[in-house]
Structure 1
Amino acid sequence: MGAVKTKRMPRAVREQQMLDAAVQIFGRRGYMAASMDEIAELAGVSKPLVYLYLNSKEDLFTACIRREATALTEAVRAGVRPGLPADRQLWDGLQAFFAHTAEHPDGWSVLHLQARTHGETFAAEVTAMREEIVAFVTQLIAVTAREAHRDPDLPEREVAGLAVALVGAAESLAAWANATPGVTARQAAATLMNFAWAGLGNLMEGRHWTPSAGEA
């Protein structure tokens, strides 16, 4: 059989088709099992054209990670409206996060599962995305603390730790929600708000949990 015939179209459009196909294959089959042949076939192009545009399987996977990471961070930022109370901003951000991961399960698989387990270079791309989201949540928690306290200075490490814990919980919950039939983005967001914000709300008002007397 001859090479796959392709219609002429702008390079950027063709490249996005290739990335769409690659995200689907990588997300469902895994990085190691995915082949350039099936990515090319799904995209409707020849394998040499995939290599011409994206160089190698490693470069293609990196491009997928970067595109999906950018889309996720942009979705979260777009979902949050400045000027609202901090709990509403967090609620809107969580809904945007869970809606995006539910609507793009293959992209989320690439970020949450595949990229983290197939080499330091790929993992570093995801780490950069997480750091951006953690910084965003850290700022939100810090602003809330300043608004809630007369003496608003929560230790910087504590604020950063809370943000890391919240983002980690959201990532794990998204993976669970995508694997559990019937769980909506709103339900996942409500679960995390009920788990996290009640505790954060008490912390913002200066009500800290401490061990009982005699406990370490």
Structure 2
Amino acid sequence: MPRAERERQMLDAAVRVFGKRGYRAASMDEIAELAGVSKPLVYLYLNSKEELFSACIRREAQALVAAIRAGVRTDVTADRQLWEGLTAFFAHTAERPDGWAVLHSQARSGGDPFVAEVVAMREEIVAFVTHLIAEAAREAHDNPELVEREVAGLAQALVGAAEALAGWANGDASVSAKEAATTMMNFAWSGLGNLMVGERWSDR
């Protein structure tokens, strides 16, 4: 079997085990058995448990970002792009629940080196959403009042809400990716729509 295919098998098995058990509780013996290889071969290919986990995080992060970007058309309005991005996000996390568990929960509990990998992925997604919100502001009026700091904060909040919602959607098989995306749009875009035209909430 070609090395790349064998490595893919190992990473597939590792994602399943890490996703269910976490980094510390995962066993290299179980990963090797699930991949159908010997434990020494896993170490030969991926050197250590830490490097194997890092490789899983990188692969799943790249796959998630690629799925979101592939799902968004650039020739549609900003709200449609956000809808398509959210739908792609929820579809991907539903199709790869162990991969999402590795990214969203297991990596964060594994320590600093793993957290840094996830932070890099999240920053890329936040930058993408920030661009969409800024584009929406430009579409709403020629001289948008939304300052850069406010746009960045809105993007952080939206991404955080989507991450939380993915856990809920993945725990209920009856919730489709489109339903989860619709929930997010109803929660976030309606409010953003008011903000774009200058209608801000006030505590007065």
TM-score range, shorter chain: over 0.9
**1:61-80 pair list within 5 angstroms:** 61-80=53-72
- Runs of 4 or more, structure 1, over 6 Å off, are none
The question of whether the paired residues in 2 share the 8 Å contact of 1:149 and 1:206 is answered with no
Task: Give the TM-score taking structure 2 as reference length.
Answer: 0.98
User: How far apart in 2 are the matches of 1:116 and 1:177?
Assistant: 20
Task: Give the TM-score taking structure 1 as reference length.
Answer: 0.93
Give the unaligned 5+ runs of structure 2: none
Give 2:90's aligned residue.
Answer: 98
Which amino acid counterpart does residue 109 of structure 2 have in structure 1? T
**1:21-170 pair list within 5 angstroms:** 21-170=13-162
Whose radius of gyration is greater, 1 or 2? 1
1:106-151 CA distances to partner (integer Å, 9 max, x unpaired)?
0000000000111011000000000000000001111111121232
> 1:153 deviation in Å?
4.0
> 1:180 deviation in Å?
2.2
Give 2:9's aligned residue.
Answer: 17
User: How far apart in 2 are the matches of 1:117 and 1:179?
Assistant: 20
Measured on the aligned residues, the alpha-carbon RMSD in Å equals: 0.8
User: How far apart in 2 are the matches of 1:112 and 1:176?
Assistant: 13
Structure having the higher helix fraction is: 2
User: How far apart in 2 are the matches of 1:116 and 1:149?
Assistant: 40
Give 1:178's aligned residue.
Answer: 170
User: How far apart in 2 are the matches of 1:65 and 1:48?
Assistant: 22
1:172-207 CA distances to partner (integer Å, 9 max, x unpaired)?
000111112311111111111100000001111111
SS at structure 2 position matched to 1:32: helix
Count of residue pairs brought into register by the alignment: 204
Report 1 or 2 for greater relative contact order, CA contacts < 8 Å, sequence distance ≥ 6: 2
User: How far apart in 1 are the matches of 2:68 and 2:39?
Assistant: 35
Which amino acid counterpart does residue 57 of structure 1 have in structure 2? K
- Residue 203 of structure 2, aligned match among 201, 208, 211: 211
Give 1:5's aligned residue.
Answer: none
127-136 or 199-208, which moves further after superposition? Answer: 199-208
> 1:17 deviation in Å?
0.3
